[in-house]
Chain A
Amino acid sequence: MSEAQAAIAQPTISDFARTFRRIQAEIHKVIIGHEEAVEELLSALFAGGHVLIEGVPGTGKTTLVKTLGLALNLSFGRIQFTVDLMPADITGTRVILSAAEGHREFSFQPGPVFCHILLGDEINRATPKTQSALLEAMAELQVTVGANTYPLARPYFVMATLNPIEMEGTYPLPEAQLDRFLFKVRLAYPGEDELVRIISSATGPEEAGVEPVFPAGEAAARIEGLKHLVREVLVAPSIEQYAARMVRATQPQNSRALGDMHSRVRVDSVDRYVSFGSSPRGALALIMGAKVRAMLDGRANVSYDDIERHAHAALEHRIMLNYAAHSDNVDAAQIVEQVLKAVRATRA
């Protein structure tokens, strides 16, 4: 058995950390800065989730996704969402083709969702009907067209970008679709040093070459093996309770109930500013993100700090704020920060 085959068959924690760092390094050959965003992106990939990337134009959203596809050596698809985009444009459609025997038959032409890594650029510019076409693909890794259901190749990783400005003529993503993204990653403007490095690397004579981390043909299997290893990370019941408590603390009605049980958990701002808190998917996201984090740290168990590490990315887009929050200029990040502070006091 070759070394590569052994790695595929039985990857270890050190394999995971090493592979993860290699992919990070390859991405950062092109993407300057955004270290935290890149780590969250890769964490979501190995946790088996999808990522919503929010950032103003020009911050490297599309470049980041393309570079990831190159580094992973996986097939890459891109959809530019517009108002007139139809669901069939995404999922694919049945067309009439002439067969060799002379008769005609319907044949399914796969859409751009049939790939390993899909970039949905400016997803909020499409109509909700078109946006919903992605739901089945993201949640069930399959596409149903007509009477037929077509499975998607694994690993399947969707990265959708959102432009927070130019909101006119856009369709905010429905909560159901937002909930299907494991993490929401924010790409901020780069700092001055980073900007200087971006200028010199992007305008220089040599383009940064991204080397694939996995050999062609092995990438999917290797990534699936690592994803399976992530699921094996051990979680103590107290840690699971901690994640559950954190998610419940974001829910106004449960936050009040928690306040009775654990007086330190009650978060007043949740009562005041949150219409709907995180769904159970938020807790799953916390745990899966924490597992990846533990593996990166060389551990086979999850700690409290691992849970908190991805709390913002996992919970912010799952918290629906009310009008009072917009009026008082309170955002979800502040709510999550207060929830973290409150729940931290209840650690066993």
Chain B
Amino acid sequence: MSATRRDEQKLWLILFQIRGIRSRLNLLTGQQWLFTTLAVIIGGGALVLLAAARLGPLSFLGAALVILIVAAGGLIGAARRGWAGRIDPMRAAGLADDRAGLKGRLTTVLALAETVHRGQLWPFLVEDTYALRDNYEPRRIEPRLVSRSLFALLAALLLAALATPDLNRGGASRRRAAGPGAGGEITADIDHLEIQPADPALEPNAQIYADPETLRRLQEKLSAGGSGNKSHGLGGLMNRARQFADAFQHKLTGRNSAAGAPTRLRLTERNPAAHGADGPRKGGNQAQNLAKNSAGAGSNGMSNGAAPNANHAHRPGAPPVASIPGAQADQMANGNPDGAAAAAPESNPNGANSNANPPEQDASNDAGGGANHGVGADPGHLFGPAAPQPFGSDSFKIAIEAEPSDEASAPGSPTYMPPRVRVPLNPNQLPDEPIARAAVPADDQMTIKRVFDR
């Protein structure tokens, strides 16, 4: 066999090993792309499911968008890295040179293998590189057969496995948190209601019932207040976003967030004679639901926010203000017959309910997470003495102006909306006056002077 033929065989073996290195490295690059892509998809999906289970609709929408954007970036990045990480023979030779300390031998052999005039030292280079072939075996250049990105995939799978049971737990906790608070009842006087459209993003979840005359007056008030305008602009957008998020959330979690019982607002009339109507007690059993809406966090916030005010709103002179969420106000203003008809069987069986909050409601306030701000937050206690509560009276006043908030005080807890109470200043409050400077007795003057001199 001629020397040239032997050189060609050695060259072929060197090139074969370079091909082996390239295949191994490309396999790892492909694995990295595949595992990273799967990890991003699975991890992102698990996070979206977690968000659907634990967050309110708007928070979920925001979180889902963020997750979507990050996941899209991750997928693009993985694809780009995969594309850039492709190994051609020259790069494989370069990597092998670096890792095996071959000082450019493989790169040079590969680069000059196809050239015609290789020079006087070419056989020496081939022989020298062939002699070092053990140093650049593919398994020595890259010992791994599986990419490390497998760990990312495993982590994503673990996250998904953790998210699945949490889907059920999260729903249960939401139902638990929504249950007691939503089942509460508030009684308010129709004369003291000031009806304003609320934030359209706040989902209604209240049943209002009263005797027919009171309801008729409520309709009049709603019409007079012009609250029948459909929500539009930013509010409308928020509403639509909320509805979309809600529907998506329900589709993902497979359950209806209306599991919590709605808050019941009982309307009464303090002075029925003036309007030619029966008293609230009388109408209690004829209660009629005006509206019924499925609701989640928003309704809980309303019930929690209303309760403390109801406890302390018995002072004379406090202006009663009740704000009804926009959608519900719309529904009421339009006299939605469907809503009323559907809600009729939900009427309060204890129609002649007293104005005192039931213990369950107080408990729900406590359970609401942050709702337990109690007396200290009620400005009624800041100005003048508290008025004695007329026990057993129906004519207590309620002032509610609630704003939606999706910030929960604890993960999984219902949304808390702090009450905003408008109370006029106490007319008996004396203005602040400076304290008159007292005259220093003559004996003390000398003592003070000595002290200062010292």
Contacts and interface: CB of A to CB of B under 8 A. Distances in A.
Number of chain A interface residues as a range: 20 to 34
Interface string B80-108: 00000000001100100100000111011
B104 A303 contact: yes
Contacts of A165: none
Contacts of B128: 299-300
A348 B91 CA distance: 7
Q: What does DSSP make chain A's interface, helix, strand, loop or mixed? A: loop
Contacts of B107: 236, 238-239, 348
Interface stretch (A51-59, A170-178, A227-235, A316-324): A227-235
Contact of A237 (B91, B111, B124): B111
A301 B105 CA distance: 6
Q: Which of B104, B122, B124 has the most CB of A within 10 A?
A: B104
A236 B121 contact: no
Contacts of B124: 12-13, 300
A232 B120 CA distance: 6
B90 A304 contact: no
Interface residues of B, number: 21
B303 to A, nearest CB: 60
Nearest to B123: A300
A37 to B, nearest CB: 24
A305 interface: yes
Nearest to A235: B108
A232 B108 CA distance: 13
Nearest to A307: B104
A234 B118 contact: yes
A87 B104 CA distance: 47
B125 interface: yes
A302 B97 CA distance: 12
Given A238-B107, A303-B104, A13 B121 contact: yes
Contacts of A13: 121, 124
Interface string B210-244: 00000000000000000000000000000000000
A304 B94 CA distance: 11
A297 interface: yes
B85 to A, nearest CB: 14
Q: Which of B112, B124, B125 has the most CB of A within 10 A?
A: B124
Interface string A332-348: 00000000000000011
A234 B94 contact: no
Contacts of B112: 234, 236
B91 A301 contact: no
Interface in A226-268: 229, 232-239
B119 A236 contact: no
Nearest to A301: B108
B119 A301 contact: no
Given A348-B90, A348-B91, A232 B119 contact: yes
A229 B121 CA distance: 8
B100 to A, nearest CB: 12
Given A299-B103, A303-B104, A234 B121 contact: yes
A297 B103 contact: yes
A305 B101 CA distance: 11
Contact of B105 (A233, A299, A305, A306): A299
A163 to B, nearest CB: 39
B134 to A, nearest CB: 18
Contacts of B97: 303
Interface of A: 12-13, 229, 232-239, 297, 299-306, 347-348
5 contacts: A235-B108, A300-B121, A300-B122, A304-B104, A306-B103
Given A229-B120, A303-B103, 17 more contacts: A13-B121, A232-B121, A234-B108, A234-B112, A238-B90, A238-B107, A238-B111, A239-B104, A297-B103, A299-B125, A299-B128, A300-B124, A301-B108, A301-B109, A303-B104, A347-B94, A348-B91
